[in-house]
Structure 1
Amino acid sequence: MIHSMTAFARGEAQGDDKTISVEIRSVNHRFCEIAVRMPRPWIALEEKIKNRIRQSVSRGRVDVTVEVRSQGGSSQVYEADAALARNYYEAVKEVHKALGLSDPIPIDSIIRLNGVINASSVKPDLESDWSLLEQALSQALETLSSMRETEGAALYEDFLGRLKKLEESLESVSSMAASQPEVHLEKLKERLAALLEGAADLDPARLAQEAAFLADKSDITEEIVRARSHIAQFRDILDQEEPPGRSLNFLAQELHREFSTMGSKSSDAGLSHVVVAAKAEVEKIREQVQNVE
């Protein structure tokens, strides 16, 4: 079953003193490209994150955001310098005494003083934090894979429907192409008759030879055969276990090439109309293939 490259997922794991969450967003890309955003103290875990993702994702642009929060819900913790606060308090008491003040000393006048309350980042413990991070990452990857698979199932059905339309178009093209030699002969007769009006009768053998030459130039049998083969291969690859995106992209390009050649060789309006409609279907397939892993 094919997988889409577009998905979003989130995972979270909680420890004794911190919570780690992971968000993953993936979009289509020719290769597997992973970008990780995380707090600097945990940057040493980045390569582990990428290696873990590569086990689940073979193709696509993957953006990962890691957030680390204390149990209070913030990525910042606050520490009090009690000794400094006590020194400030004693100093303020001396000022009160010197000025003969009797008002109580408000606590906010102490904690607002520089250095009494300090903000610091949640401190890393890389070994235990990796255990938490891996839990959150695995949870997110499981959801991501499920979403990519669901989107892939929709793409799979869409491809099958469009391939069937292409096969129907090829049946019509093949039927129309079979009558082209007679059509060329009649057109050639009409053109030569107009040019040689009143002249001697046309040589039937010569006419047949010229008509055969024109029919050979416009013969699309090989293109029809190759297009049918490409469609059969496309179906087979859709059911393979390996990520088929690159192979499907190549076949979609080849299908476009074959139908374009059919159109360029055709001088019949009806046949050209069928080929144009088929090329529109191929173009839709080419667009959808870009999102297949």
Structure 2
Amino acid sequence: MINSMTGYGQSEVNINGEHYLIEVKTINHRFLDIALHIPNSFNPYLEKINRELKQFFNRGRIEVNMTKIASEKDHDSISIDWTQVARYDQAFKAIRANYPETGDDLIAKMPEIESFLYEDVSFELDEHHLEQLLNAINESSQKAVQMRLSEGEELYEDICYQTERLEDLVESIDSKRDQIKSIHYERMVNRLNQLLEKNGLKHESEYYRELAILAEKGDLTEEIIRIRSHIDQMRELYKQSVPVGRKLDFIVQELMREANTTASKANDPLISHLVVDLKSVVEKIKEQIQNVE
């Protein structure tokens, strides 16, 4: 079954009297990219948190935000890193000295500075705290996964619909394949006859054999077979329970390549019109597959 890479889940956890909101947000990405935004107190457990997340996600950008929910006693827990404040003060003075006319404007455009503020940790972290945190991340991840599954079902329905449209267009092209080849051959014969008559040359049989060979080179059988093969591969991937996004993305690229070859070989307005529709459907499938895990 197809899974989306877009999901969201949240949970709350109380660790040693401090209340936290744990949010897990996932969006599409070529690989698995985990970004953790958690209090420094929990930095010793980054590796374990990453391992926990990898149990739920195989692909996508995974953002984990751990936000402390304010309480009445929080105003006593904020301290100022005066050493860091002094460093910023020295830096601002240097900017103003080197750029006396524009220094203040440059400083005003800098991002807001919060690194000299830090929160006092009133407890020591232990395995019990880690277990509480991992359980909360687990809960948020499960909710995000459920959302990915739900959206994956919608993606699956739309991709299946577009795949059926793709198959119908291939059938239309195939039904006109022999007709197009015959028209192409007749067009070349008429052109050859005009040139021979204009220049007073004989109608040699080898000329027409060469034209027949050229007409065969414009046959679309191989392209149609490959396109159908790609469609069959896609349908098989839809049924798998493992992540298939990358494989589908590769197959869609091959479909677009075959569509371009078909358009160039056919050299016919009718086929060209069908190929434009074909490429449009492939683009729609490609757009949806970008969010498939």
Normalised by the size of structure 2, how large is the TM-score?
0.79
Q: Does the Cα contact within 8 Å between 1:20 and 1:136 map onto a contact in 2? A: no
Aligned to 1:187: 187
Separation in structure 2 between the aligned mates of residue 19 and residue 179 of structure 1, nearest angstrom: 73
Please report how far the alpha carbon of residue 120 of structure 1 lies from its aligned counterpart in structure 2 after TM superposition.
3.3
In the TM superposition, residue 69 of structure 1 has moved relative to its aligned partner by 4.7
Q: Residue type of the partner of 1:257?
A: R
| C-alpha displacement of 1:160 | 0.5
**In the superposition, relative to structure 1, how do residues 8 and 151 fare at CA in structure 2: closer, same or farther (>3 Å)?**
same
What corresponds to 1:5 in structure 2? Answer: 5
**What residue number does 1:292 align with?**
292
Partner of 2:254: 254
Deviation readout 1:199-249 (Å, 9 max, x if unpaired): 47745x445413312212211211110110110110110110111111111
Q: Give unpaired runs (5+ residues) of structure 2.
A: 80-118
Note the 1:231-270 alignment, pairs <5 A. Answer: 231-270=231-270
Q: What SS does the corresponding residue of 1:196 show, helix, strand or coil?
A: helix
Q: Distance in 2 between matches of 1:265 and 1:245?
A: 31
Alignment of 1:213-232 (within 5 A): 213-232=213-232
SS in 2 for 1:3: coil
Q: Which runs of 5+ in 1 are unaligned?
A: 80-118
In structure 1, the residue corresponding to 2:120 is in which secondary structure? Answer: strand
Q: 1:54-203 alignment to 2 at 5 Å?
A: 54-69=54-69, 72=72, 74=74, 77=77, 120-197=120-197, 199=200, 202-203=203-204
When residues 285 and 73 of structure 1 are mapped into structure 2, their CA distance, relative to the original with a 3 A threshold, is farther
User: Offset of 1:74 from its aligned partner?
Assistant: 4.2
Q: Which amino acid aligns with 1:175?
A: S
**Structure 1 length-normalised TM:** 0.79
1:120 to 1:201, Cα distance in 2 relative to 1, 3 A: closer
**More deviation, 70-79/180-189:** 70-79
Residues 20, 66 of structure 1: 8 Å contact kept? yes
Are the structure 2 counterparts of residues 70 and 17 from structure 1 closer, same or farther at C-alpha, using a change threshold of 3 Å? farther
Secondary structure, counterpart of 1:8 in structure 2 = strand
How far does residue 71 in structure 1 lie from its aligned partner after superposition? Answer: 5.9
Do the aligned residues in 1 keep the contact of 2:181 with 2:218 (CA within 8 Å)? no
Deviations 1:232-281 (A, max 9, x none): 11011011011111111111111111111111111110001101110111
215-224 vs 126-135, which deviates more?
126-135
Structure 1 residues 121, 184: closer, same or farther in 2, change over 3 A? same
> Quick one: distance in 2 between partners of 1:61 and 1:214?
51
Q: For 1:181 and 1:40, how far apart are their aligned partners in 2?
A: 70
Larger radius of gyration: 1
Using a 3 Å threshold, how does the CA distance of structure 1 residues 195 and 70 change in structure 2: closer, same or farther? closer
AA partner of residue 213 (structure 1)? I
* Structure 1 pair 75–151 and aligned structure 2 pair: CA distance change class (3 A): farther
The answer on whether the counterparts of 2:180 and 2:266 sit within 8 Å (CA) in structure 1 is no
How far 1:70 moved relative to its partner?
A: 7.0
CA distance in 2: counterparts of 1:75 and 1:13, whole angstroms:
21
Given that 1:11 and 1:22 are in contact with CA atoms closer than 8 Å, whether structure 2 keeps it comes out as yes
Instruction: Provide closer, same or farther for how the CA distance between residues 291 and 163 of structure 1 changes in structure 2, counting only shifts above 3 A.
Output: same
Q: For residue 279 of structure 1, what is the amino acid of its counterpart? A: K
Q: Report if the CA contact (8 A) 1:24-1:62 is conserved.
A: yes
1:275 corresponding residue in structure 2: 275
Segment drifting more, 6-15 vs 278-287:
6-15
Structure 1 residues 180 and 159: CA distance shift in structure 2, 3 A? same
Report the secondary structure of 2:176's partner residue. Answer: helix
Q: Find the counterpart in structure 2 of residue 85 from structure 1.
A: none
Secondary structure of 2:2's aligned partner:
coil
Partners of 1:180 and 1:215 within 8 A in 2 = no
Output the amino acid matched with 2:275. V
**Structure 1 contact 68–75 (Cα < 8 Å) conserved:** no
Which stretch of the first structure deviates more once superposed, 129-138 or 168-177? 129-138
2:77–2:120 contact (8 Å) kept in structure 1: yes
Alpha-carbon RMSD across the aligned residues, in angstroms, is 2.3
